[in-house]
Amino acid sequence: MSIKNIRAILTSVLVLIAMSSFAQVNWVTIDEAQELNKQEPRKIMVDVYTKWCGPCKMMVKYTFNDKWIADYINKHYYAVKFNAEGPDSCTFKSTVFKNPGYVKDKRGRNGTHQFTQAIAPVNGRIAYPTVVFIDQDLNLITGVQGFQKPVQFEPMLKFINEDVYKTSNWEAFMKSFKSERAVNSPTQ
């Protein structure tokens, strides 16, 4: 076997190993999530982001690409990626939401989508990213604003998915929380 062939084989093996360590969240639209929820009820997690938002890009790079986080989301939630300033209309609980302030080809910030205004405010303000949790009956549970490292996001996912929020507060939950993630990343 030539050195060239050995290099090609090693390169292929390394690519396969690298690809297996990357995870991917199965993103759907809010309309699709509602249809899926009719067939198999699950909570819905909405990542409300903008194209210009640095912390939103960090959530994608570090948190949503974390294998444990992506696997947990895919197993327990319908994951929606929603552009807070995008042009596309959507329907939620039979109400159509649009972005009348959207300006095509505008650079930087754009008009805020009506759906963003309906689900993303936390304490009266909208910030990006905001992850909104919705129950199986399409009721808003809560929104969490700002970049969350995987180590911060894991307990949130469990707190909501396991319905702990119904019987306990966050502080009490965190006192007994034990991570299932293998921590081996600088962003944790």
Stated pTM of the model: 0.85
Q: Are 90 and 30 in contact (CB under 8 A)?
A: yes
Residue with tokens 């939950």: 173
134-137-140 Cα angle (round to 5): 30
Domain 24-176: give its CATH architecture.
Answer: 3-Layer(aba) Sandwich (3.40)
pLDDT tens column, 7-46: 544 444 344 344 445 679 999 999 999 999 999 999 999 9
**What are the pLDDT digits (tens) for 122-149?**
999 999 999 999 999 999 999 999 999 9
Closest-CA residue to 102 (of 116, 91, 123, 121)? 116
Mean pLDDT within 68-84: 97
Q: What is the DSSP letter of 174?
A: H
CA distance 31 to 145: 23
Q: What are the structural domain ranges in the chain? A: 24-176
pLDDT of residue 23: 74
E strand or H helix at 160: helix 150-161
Q: Which two tokens stand for residue 107?
A: 């650079």
User: How far is it, in rounded angstroms, from Cα 115 to Cα 41?
Assistant: 22
pLDDT (tens digit per residue) in 154-180: 999 999 999 999 999 999 999 999 998
Reading the block at residue 108, the tokens are 């930087």
